[in-house]
Amino acid sequence: MTTFISHDKRAQSEITLEGRLGVLQCHFTWDLEHYRNTLLSIKDMLQDIGTEEGCKWLGHIYNLQGYVHFQLGSVEEARSFFSRAAETFRKMRGVEEGPWLVVTYGNQAWLHHLQGEQEESRVYLSKIDGLLSEDPSQDELHPEICAEKAWTLMKFSGEQKLLAADCFQRAILMQPDKVEWQTSHVFWLVYMSKQGKTGVEADIMEKLRKAREQDPENLYLAAVYLLQLAKRGQIDQSGARELATKVLRNPVSSYSGIKPLMWFYRTYTSLDEAVALAEEALKLYPEERYLKRCVALSYKWKLWERDSDPSPSLIEKGIRAHEEVLSLYPDSSFMKRIDLANFYTRSENTKAKSEKIFQQLLVEDLEPAEKQVVFNSYAKHLYFTQRQPKMSIQYHMKAAEIPIKSFFQRNSIKLLEKIRHRECNQDVDRFLSRLKESPN
């Protein structure tokens, strides 16, 4: 009888514990997408952001890295990153504890719980209770929690990315003096805006201008602003050269500003200048994998340059660069494999390797969006390289009928419409008519 009561009490205790964990604000309760390929891509993306001293989002980076590693099965790595997050927040804030630790403690409580370490989990729940009891407005999420949630949601896709705006706005409304929150919110607005040929809408451009004034040392922001000005016809070549000099002097990061600056050169001066910038950066920092990725991207742009015939030397450089990038990013290799396959098709010596990559991708267990990319890319490969137009049509249809709105779906539909008009193809006509009537 005594044993039964003991088990009953323990069961009640676990229910209470799980209930408390369920209402925490942390990565484990934010309903984050957890497809393995998505998590692997985010892991690489976070590594490329870098962990330089002075990065205002460093604690948030460590927290998300911890969550991603846990979901991928690396529990001890997750513990280490959560500990680093707590240490970083303390160092940056200059005090031992505060509301900025709520998310980190929540992550640690969940990790211990999922590992069966319930007493340790309760310790962190008590710490969170202590932090929240100091907050006079417990009905509202603390701005620090809102900001971290917003920053995290931005790294995912779909609905999660859409929710980020609301979280940023709430955080900024409660604490408008945080420059990094304002800047990240503007990045979100630029990224999510449906940009025409003249760039973002006027109200977003004004927010971008104000953010530039408030955050003058942010080179990524400067490069994005320069690019948006150019879309409005204000092409500042001297400003671009000055910014390039600063970017090359600063630590390497995916937020150093090099990629939007490359886009500026590609679109408004010359593609050769974009290639030269990437190559110069890599000469200065030859071991940085992110710069190797930028160089490979610039070669990819050259490969697809309109009205140009890529030279054998470019194809050879592109193949070498993409093979190296693929080896450096083995965990998020999906698009990189397609890019390499496209380079392989341009050389007689490697065409068979291209077909092999596509055949491997076609039988892999991919997410629907990834399948759409493969079908669209393989359709083009069949048409231009394999000279199999009928089979190419079948794969464009496969890409088009996946109900995900994307560049690849639009591209396949556009090419099918051209085929319908050019060849009066009745099969394609019936397919497009059915697609148009489909509720998706």
**Residue extents of the structural domains in the chain:** 2-153, 366-440
- What pLDDT does residue 9 have? 46
Q: Return the percentage of the chain with pLDDT > 70, whole number.
A: 94
Q: Which residues contact 207 (CB under 8 A, 6 or more apart)?
A: 186, 189
Residue 280 has pLDDT above 70, yes or no: yes
pLDDT, average across residues 309-336: 95
Predicted structure pTM score? 0.89
Give the pLDDT score at 161.
Answer: 86
For the stretch 281-305, pLDDT in tens is 999 999 999 999 999 999 999 999 9
Q: Please give the C-alpha separations between residue 426 and each of 3, 377, 417, 420, 422, in angstroms, as whole numbers.
A: 75, 23, 11, 7, 11
Residues forming beta bridges with residue 196, ordered by sequence position: 199
Is the predicted pLDDT of residue 10 greater than 70, yes or no?
Answer: no
For the segment 228-247, the average pLDDT, to the nearest whole number, is 96
**Which of 339, 353, 337 is closest to 302 using CA atoms?**
339
Is pLDDT at 351 greater than 70 in this prediction? yes
Say if residue 140's pLDDT is above 80: no
Query: Is residue 312 over pLDDT 90?
Result: yes
β-pair partners for 199: 196
* pLDDT exceeds cutoff 50 at 4: no
What pLDDT does residue 5 have? 39
pLDDT at 346 over 90: yes
Whole-number Å distance between alpha carbons of 121 and 105: 9
Can you give the pLDDT at residue 418? Answer: 95
Look over the chain and give the mean of its residue pLDDT values, rounded to a whole number: 92
Angle at 152 between CA 149 and CA 157, to 5 degrees: 120
Q: Is pLDDT of 49 > 70? A: yes
The answer as to CATH 1.25.40.10 being correct for domain 2-153 is yes
| pLDDT attached to residue 16 | 85
